[in-house]
Amino acid sequence: MNLTTSHLIALLPLLIVGTTVIVVMLGVAWRRHHVASATVTVIGLNLALLSLLAVLNVTPLEVTPLIVVDKYAVLYMALILVASLACSTLAHAYLEGLDDQREEFYMLLLCATMGGLLLVSSQHLASLFIGLELLSVPIYGMAAYTYRDRTSLEAGIKYMVLSAMASAFLLFGMALLYAEAGTLSFSGLSARMSGGELSSAWTLMGVGMMVIGLGFKLSLAPFHLWTPDVYEGAPAPVSAFLATVSKIAVFAVLLRFFMTAPATGDGWLHTVIAIIAFLSMLVGNLLALTQNNLKRLLGYSSIAHLGYLLTVIVASDGLAIETAGIYLITYVATTLGAFGVVTLVSSPYQGPDAGQLYHYRGLFWRRPYLTAVLTLMMLSLAGIPLTAGFIGKFYALAIGVESSLWWLVAGIVIGSALGLYYYLRVMVTLYLHEPGESRRDATANWGQRSGGVMVLLLALAVLVIGIYPQPIISLVRSATLITAG
């Protein structure tokens, strides 16, 4: 194929992030400097974000048979780049307390971001797999980055082994589909499925294996067992990256696939996805009730939230794409804020992060601004009105009602009621104080100020979206058209 100027413009975000990786790598080879590496990373991500304005002028465009850049892809590219920017800012604050090489972390983060950008513009199972591996492999190193801490090393190894197994399931499932359909493009598979040509046992097995592989990547029950352990052991900025960028990218490409070849077109697949959604809501919330570690609690909470979000794929029509966009925006802003506080409380210390709830006991009396941010994030995760989380939860309920998925609506309501208990438990802990209680103070130096400013901006965003959501709704509505290749 001949690459034109329009094709190059459409690829600008990927090209800029890739160039930034090379610049950071050359900088490390020439002279190590943590602040310089972090600054180059932030500049590169900002330039990639700005380049999306130019990309909008050439959309929709099929760059190659594997990649399509449309407004849907641009929306999720923007969300991935914003989340990566927040994680790199948190990483700078966190790694200041690490007495080891720090610069390679940014190379890994940028490579994983490139994988996410590729995933959201994929229209072919080959590019889906390449993007997924480009996203996942750097995270192995990121999770084990503070390798002198046993829990971090364990998190990296555990994620690597289980992720490799999930990738094997995914790849074998793709091979079975290709053997039956003779194509790996989303549109080609959709045409075969709608024509009833793919109903053999091999096809069913292929789709089932792909569901297992993607279910692992999204931490959906019953493929969720790695999530709390990895979230707890990984450095806090990596947990934030896993909970946001990784989830955005995988869910966006999954939604594109199922909008092209709807799950509702096949009764058994529709039922399986609905059961997984309900299980995720129930298991995530029930297991979060017993947690005394904030990072594990947020891990189980993410399982439940992905269960709510999976209602979109079960519905596969109406408000589906709009609901997914709004829910992911509200979830990402809230989750980044929560992990941001964990990072800022943990960053000045060696060893394990400040994950235990007793580390946060009486935080209000020592660091009121961090307490205010974490309180707001807990309220948003619980779906309390006037917070961004309420808007996302409202949309999830609306699409469940619109599609008459009453048992999933019941799951969202029951899950939200259970979630209210453990989110309130965290909030109450912040305002308690008991003399002699073992605790870990938050850093007095703002976050290494950029981190402190960033979590305050996230808190402001959560409030503004909750009070006046119309601009976000309009933005998502303008990107609801998925281009079929």
**Tokens read off for 46:** 């900002």
Closest C-alpha to 169, from 142, 123, 132, 120: 132
Q: DSSP class of residue 441? A: P
293 DSSP assignment = B
Query: What is the spatial distance between Cα 340 and Cα 66, in angstroms, rounded to a whole number?
Result: 35
Alpha-carbon distance of 138 to 113, in angstroms, equals: 9
Of 36, 66, 42, 68, residue with least CA distance to 55: 68
- pTM: predicted TM-score of the whole model, two decimal places: 0.92
The per-residue pLDDT for 3 is: 77
**Secondary-structure breakdown of the chain: helix, strand, coil percentages, each rounded to the nearest 5:** 75, 0, 25
The torsion angles phi and psi of 70, rounded to 5 degrees, stand at: -130, -175
Q: What is the pLDDT of residue 53?
A: 93
CA atoms of 433 and 422, how far apart (whole Å): 19
Name the DSSP letter for residue 263: G
Query: Which pLDDT score, from 0 to 100, does residue 60 have?
Result: 85
Q: Distance between CA 279 and CA 253 in Å, rounded?
A: 22
What pLDDT, on the 0 to 100 scale, is given for residue 441? 47
Token pair 């490799």 is found at 164
pLDDT at 405: 86
pLDDT at residue 446, as a whole number: 41
DSSP state of 440: -
Calpha distance 183→171 (Å, rounded) = 14
Cβ 227 vs Cβ 299: under 8 Å: yes
Q: Could you give phi then psi for residue 69, rounded to 5 degrees? A: -110, 110
pLDDT of residue 436: 56
* Alpha-carbon gap, residue 52 to 316, rounded angstroms: 27
pLDDT digit string (tens) for the chain, length 485 residues? 677 888 899 999 999 999 999 999 999 988 888 889 999 999 999 999 999 999 998 888 888 889 999 999 999 999 999 999 999 999 988 887 777 788 899 999 999 999 999 999 999 999 999 999 999 999 999 999 988 888 889 999 999 999 999 999 999 999 988 888 888 888 888 777 665 555 677 778 888 888 899 999 898 988 888 899 999 989 999 999 999 999 999 999 998 888 876 554 557 778 888 999 999 999 999 999 989 999 999 999 999 999 999 998 888 776 888 899 999 999 999 999 999 999 888 754 555 677 788 888 888 887 888 899 999 999 999 999 999 999 999 999 999 888 888 899 999 999 999 999 999 999 998 888 755 544 454 444 444 567 788 899 999 999 999 999 999 999 898 877 665 44
Q: How far is the first Cα of the chain from the last one, in angstroms, to the nearest whole number? A: 16
Ranges of each domain in the chain: 5-477
Residue 442, pLDDT score: 46
Burial class from Cβ neighbours inside 10 Å (0-12, 13-18, 19+) for residue 3 reads exposed
Judge contact between 82 and 90, C-beta under 8 A: no
Q: Encoding tokens for residue 117?
A: 């950008």
Alpha helices in 218-319 (DSSP H): 226-233, 236-241, 247-260, 267-288, 294-315
